Amino acid sequence: MRNRRYQMLFFLFFPAFLFAQQKATRVDKKDLPNVILIFMDDMGYGDLGVTGALDYQTSILDQMANHGIRFTNFLVPQAVCSASRAALLTGNYPNRMGVHGAYMPNAKAGLKSSEITIAEMLKSKGYQSYMVGKWHLGNEPEFLPTKQGFDGYVGLPYSNDMWPVEFDGSPAKKGGRVAHYPKLPLLQSKVGQEIPDTIGIIKDLKDQATLTQRYTKEAVDYIKKHKKDRFFLYLAHNMTHAPIAASEKFIGKTKQGLYGDVMAEIDWSMGTILQALKDAKIEDNTIVIFTSDNGPWLNFGNQNGSSGGFREGKGTSWEGGQRVPCIIQWPKVIKQGRIENNLSSSMDIFATLADIVNYQEHPFQIDGLSFLPNLKDAEAKPHRDRMYYYYNKNDLEAVRLENWKLVFPHRYRSYEDILPGNDGNGGKYNSKTVDSLMLFDLRRDPAERYNVIEQHPDVKEKLLQMAEEARADLGDDLTKRKGANRRD
């Protein structure tokens, strides 16, 4: 009876004690940073000046990297549009949430409302939030950004090639690949509005060429309007996803051609947003994050980007598909520029922001890990040592532990040993198969060319055990495992 009485007292008073502890450590509202998250589409690791881009410059982004932190080992958990975006906004492996691939228009599927996004998390801490650009997590009204924590939204509901127009800008061919797509709408909505307004139709490549300018103006106007608030601004560019387009001001600006012109305009956009922060006198305590959803769509040749020498590109579990640039600027905390070479993931952005604002109310355990200590201290220990590489619906194609990557037998679409298309026309894909286990030491072989599995049997066994942990948790269609902790 005495033990039971003690237990009752514990459960009566422990929540109050916990609340008092949380209240004591809660960050003062006046010190909370603004957050701007800029997400590119199909921009590869090698597409910035600081990562080796040729025949065009990204001087603003390079300067941002030189004053902030540039991550060189930054992975998305899946190299495809919807899955990558779900992971970014929730801090979870997308297959944990039942998200995979790229949602087609009117797919009647999207991010489940019970999942917590960055917008919802920050809203619980008093933030305003706004989204500009490509959503691609369900285009039905119940899935749109204003149902996922954003106060307002302007942009396209999915990829800019999901329209009844060919990649070269000509009308869809009867019975062709894009003939079944609806017109591409530019949407606007705010909280409480059940059906978004269609404020424009993107009819042709000239309309596509207006998107970067339009999105930048929306972002700058939002910063001006909310400079006295705490805000989260999520800007998801449609560029550099094919078909690419640049405004007249940037056409012919670079030696590289249209792709270089598009990147020059993106760099201008970044500079315009950073200037807006300076003008509003809120630059010092605003976190600005710039990254991409996956690697380049390489079969578009001269009108798509570079994987920076990593193997393959978008739609694969090789490094060229999942390793992307990431730059973070936060002058109040990051006092001088540096490079972070340790393993990180887009899932970690949610966890890091939650750490910054002391968010502890999440109903689920998430897969992201906070790198806040690494932002504050160049000597901090690596926050992450492993990643799972899933693709398709739930195929575990590889696992990684520190610099070691074990690749499992699987079939994949390939850009190798086949010529790409050019001038807006996509080339064909090759199809390749990994027939047996392959082990790569990414420190010595970042291009994944030398299978060293026979030289390191101990490493192989360690990564096989790690793969079993992944399958028990998330499942694996390749080995017909369901996994215990996947949500609908």
Active site residues: 81, 136
Cα separation, 239 vs 134, whole angstroms: 9
List the beta bridge partners of residue 290: 38, 327
Torsion over CA of 60, 62, 67 and 70, rounded to 10 degrees?
130
Yes or no: say if 163 and 181 are a contact pair by the CB < 8 Å rule.
yes
